[in-house]
Amino acid sequence: MKSFCHPIVGVLVLALSIIFSSNNVVSAVDIKLHNQANVSVEKRIDDLIGRMTLKEKIDLLSGTGFETKALLRLGIPQLKMTDGPVGVRWGKASVFPCGTAMAATWDTSIVKQIGKSIGEEVKGKGRNVILGPCVNIARLPIGGRDFESFGEDPYLASRMAVSYIEGVQSVGVAATVKHYVANNQEHHRTFVDEKISPRALNEIYFPAFKAAVQEAHVMALMAAYNKVNGEYCTESQYLLDTTLIQNWGFDGLVMSDWGAVHSTLKAMKSGLDLEMPSGIYINDSTLLPLIKSGKVSEKEIDEKVRRILRIMFRLGIFDHESKIDSSLINTSDHRSAAYRAAVEGIVLLKNEDGVLPFSSESIKSLAVIGPNAAIARTSGGGSAMVSPVFSISPLEALQNRLGNKIKLTYAPGVYLEGDDPPVDSSFLYLPDRDVHGLLGEYFDNQELQGEPKIERIDKTINFNWSGNPPIETFKPGHFSVRWTFRLRVPETGDYIISLGSDDGSRLYIDGKLLINDWEDHAFESRSSKVRLKSGRFYLVKVEYYQNAGDAAVKLSLRRDDVDLIKDAVDAARKSDMAIVFAGTSAQYETEGKDRDNLVLPCNQDELIQRIAQANKRTVVVLVSGSPVTMSKWISKVKGVLEAWFGGEEAGNAIADVLLGRYNPSGKLPLTFPVRWEDCSAYGTYRRQDSVSYYGDGIFVGYRWFDEHQIKPLFPFGYGLSYTSFEYKNLQISSRGDGDKKRVSVSFTLTNTGGRAGAEVAQVYVSNLNKSLGEPPKVLQGFVRVELNPGESKLVQLELTKDAFAYYDEKSKSWVVNPGDYKIIIGSSSRNIRLSAILSLK
């Protein structure tokens, strides 16, 4: 008998077969839930993962420069990142004060405003993610990236981190807390093994990351280069899976630092989601065999894809295209935030005889001296260096504010390495004819091999290509250049020829190798003294290669027979007052290397001593990212300011503090030691190749100085004002038990001076049960209070049980022991104003 099926029935059967076939139920009408903005994020992710092939999933786990891969078939866009943390490193942008300067404000509101401003500029550049903040603890004061972080104390760093992240993410941009964890030195940073106790990890190095995750709900985290206790941070299950994901509940994206992945299987099992900047270890060829053998499951791949997609959906980049909007860059609000942070972060370290502020009523002539006077040192070096839309030097700002009221005389005194101006193009001639210029040969390899891809005539050697290649078709971070030219100087004499580069460079004169710096490094400059005769041609060859990251090269030449210090001393002697702008620069404090010591470079100590001898009214303004030693001259000068790398508005901020337009209120976020040898890391740093033992444990920064009764040059939390403050009437009360334990602290703060000003009152807790190995005191609260002359305010803070807890290694938990605790109120860690005993039962 012949079967019969009506056409309509056939259609229904076909539809039902589609609906119920296979394990994955698919609607007959394919509703793409991942494109529906009103559907929950997790359902959108489920829908999208269900549509992805295994290859597409693997493709999403590695980047391409500063982006994730776009998967066009499914409409998955790129997640676009950009460096920070003091601004958007993508073309020109606003430059905000460095991390230590932000922390020196002790003002969470301005740090949150900076975060919001940076977030807006990230959007203005058409990007989605800022690679900041950096919250690593400044364990050693010579650390190359200390300037990026928020200082030596985990509580202060946590408060700054939370505020920064909340600001960034309030405008729909993802922050990336970095570098997880203990990336506290640049020396051997890509492989050094940090041996750290569980207690030190939990009490010193974890807190800022934990606060970023649990309080600020940061969307992304960057795993560091280094090892911790034998495991690379990108491969550590304890750090990433157990601690970060399981214990802290982080559900965002875990990415590697650029080039920090060392394996496939360990990285996949650790909790790492994304290899940056490309898939060297995480790709089809490495992962598919592991999946086939069962060592890695597709479910594990799905979870990593989920975490990457989650940040995309939370940012809304599936629902609206990221567009460039230049109106969001360097707005008046952003410049205002940059100025406010810069001026609030300036720390007055010394003000003998009230030398500051000065005015046209007190002096008629001023010598402005030093290598940091006429240059705007907006930031330290490396990936934190942002190209400013606007910047102003202290000299220019003083000239603008003073006009003709005070006679200004400027003298550099010394030059810092890398500051010499590029060689005058009129001195340079092509190798084969009397025409100004240099023959540049550009190679698409790092070895200057084969035929150059392009030859061109350059005017001089002064290039900063950032992360972009000099030729559009070149692979970023993988090229080399040879310049050949003839050099002729107008006057016979001794000259200093300098060649600065990131990475390797070398220089030959008449075939002789004069400068050889042919290795990978952050930007640094090498110099040589040469005798040059006028009218004679010297054949010069400069070679340069770049290996990932920044790309910069600069050739400088200056006369060496000019006594710069003598000129500066003459200027100081003829003036009523002298201000020496000393410090460091982006060449000395930079990613990729630590400083050799804390001494001011390039003979600045001698410069300051001689200026102070010539003018008894000498003030030193330090422009740096971290401490410098001052023993040779601190007693000889009347005043000292620490102004940090203050961002684009640093010059204006410094001028306003010097002139009394703003009353300084900054406090040190790290201890300034008398000498490097006094610091906790000195005895273990670089003592063993590729290993660093954290023998100081929880005694980092001021904890170490307090425990060992070492007198610092200036203590943590220190900072003077043009007015004075009085602390009175400390009251302490407690309520609740266990996790609900709360301790209320209140006191009265009065401005007893003649100027309006702000004071940062600090709350420390001392566990009097010394058998637990506690530091003498630990910061657990602070408040910044603005007061008019004669005004009083009641200051109130609340401490939770966390303020009294320590990490117990045996139980692997936080413990609060009953006993007596001292509540300490200070204007610094050493200037204690009030204290009282609290008994916890």
Residue 714 is classified by DSSP as B
Instruction: Please list, in sequence order, all residues whose beta carbon lies within 8 angstroms of the beta carbon of residue 771, skipping any fewer than 6 positions away.
Output: none
> Residue 464 corresponds to which tokens in the numbers above?
């900063």
| Site of tokens 């043009």 | 722
Q: Which phi and psi angles does 538 have, rounded to 5°?
A: -115, 130
| Residues 462 and 554 sit within 8 Å (Cβ to Cβ) | yes
Query: 325: number of CA atoms within 13 Å, CB side?
Result: 13
φ/ψ of residue 765, rounded to 5: -120, 130
Identify the residue whose tokens are 């941009």. 173
First-to-last alpha carbon distance for the chain, in angstroms, is 92
Instruction: Check: CB of residue 790 under 8 Å from CB of residue 749.
Output: no
- Between CA 660 and CA 402 the distance in angstroms is 13
Distance set, CA 366 to CA 294, 360, 407 (Å):
75, 10, 6
**DSSP states along 38-96:** TS-HHHHHHHHHHH--HHHHHHTTBBSSSBBPPBGGGTBPP-BEEE-SSS--SSEE--P
Q: How far are the Cα atoms of 204, 217, 240, 252, 723 from residue 248, in angstroms, in the given order? A: 16, 11, 10, 11, 44
Q: Contact 102/113 with Cβ under 8 angstroms?
A: no
Name the pairing type of β-strands 220-223 and 174-180: parallel
Is-contact 826 766, C-beta < 8 A?
Answer: no
Helix (H, G, I), strand (E, B) or coil at 224: coil
DSSP sequence for 728-784? EEEEEEEE--GGG-EEEEEEEEEE-SSS-EEEEEEEEEEES-GGG---S-EEEEEEE
Residue 338 CA, chain-centre distance (Å), reads 15
Largest CA distance in the chain: 121
Instruction: Tell me, yes or no, if 434 is annotated catalytic.
Output: no
- Helix/strand/coil for 653: helix
Pull the structure tokens for residue 80.
């676009």
Q: How many CB atoms lie within 10 A of CB 823?
A: 24
Report strand pairing: 618-623 vs 577-583: parallel
Q: How much of the chain is in helix, strand and coil states, percent to nearest 5?
A: 25, 30, 45
* Residue at 100: amino acid letter: T
Instruction: Provide the pairing of β-strand 538-547 with 505-509.
Output: antiparallel
Amino acid at 658: L
Instruction: For residue 354, give the DSSP letter.
Output: G
Q: How many CB atoms neighbour CB 240 within 10 A?
A: 26
Q: Which of 146, 153, 257, 502 is catalytic?
A: 257
**How far apart (Å, rounded) are the C-alpha atoms in residues 482 and 289?**
44
The residues annotated with a catalytic role in the active site are 257
